[in-house]
Amino acid sequence: MKKEVLTTKKAPEAIGPYSQAIKVGDIIYTSGQIPIDPATGQVVQGGIEAQTKQVLENINAILVNAGSSFKNVIKSTVFVKDMNDFTAINNIYGQYFKEPYPARSLVEVARLPKDVLIEIEVIALV
């Protein structure tokens, strides 16, 4: 199978040697998205809620560009700086994902790029 690089200006450009997303067959693999506003290139301020919303908006832009949506996400991985933000993250996450929910891992990490509070990557079907 051939891999196809997916990119959109509606999500932040990669800040390293990676792609926003890769499509192989009918599967989309996004890179981890952090809360960067694609219009300004700056990290969104306002705490975990604002950062979670921006990350999910960035993922949405990538999925829509690829002809997919949150309803087609089959797996997500969430990296957080503070596990105490679990409930706040779930509240925002639940606004974007509906049942049947995708499989998910949520892991607390010591540090994320640009010292953001959250990073999310997904695997979705087209």
**pLDDT tens for residues 56-97?**
999 999 999 999 999 999 999 999 999 999 999 999 999 999
Give the pLDDT confidence of 6-51 residue by residue, as tens digits.
999 999 998 889 999 999 999 999 999 999 999 999 999 999 999 9
Domain count, the chain: 1
The pTM for the full model equals 0.96
pLDDT at res. 1 = 86
CB atoms within 10 A of CB 18: 10
CATH of the domain at 105: 3.30.1330.40
Q: Which domain holds residue 42?
A: 3-125
